[in-house]
Amino acid sequence: MSTNTYTVTGMTCGHCVASVTEELGEIGGVTDVAVDLPTGAVTVTSDRPVDDAKIRAAVEEAGYQLAG
């Protein structure tokens, strides 16, 4: 089990949260995605380590950016 928290910028509403959650949820091994809209904190739980590049790609596919 692996849990990592990222900061995503550009999310403004519940639809944004849904888009990011959906894209991250499609990554192999991801079992849970939790988004805190006000802060942009996105916590990804997976049953195996997930490469940061995959996280970044999914966030960008949804139309947002990883901070840092």
Cα torsion angle, 61, 3, 33, 46, sign: positive
State which of residues 6, 8, 16, 44 lies at the interface with a second copy (CB under 8 A): 16
Measured between alpha carbons, how far is residue 58 from residues 12, 43, 44 in Å? Answer: 17, 14, 12
| H or E segment to which residue 45 belongs | strand 41-46
Task: Name the one range near a second copy by CB under 8 A: 15-23, 27-35, 40-48, 51-59.
Answer: 15-23
Give yes or no for residue 38 binding a second copy (CB under 8 A).
no
Q: How far is the CB of 30 from a second copy (least distance, A)?
A: 22
Which residues sit at the interface with a second copy, rule CB under 8 A?
12-16, 18-19, 63
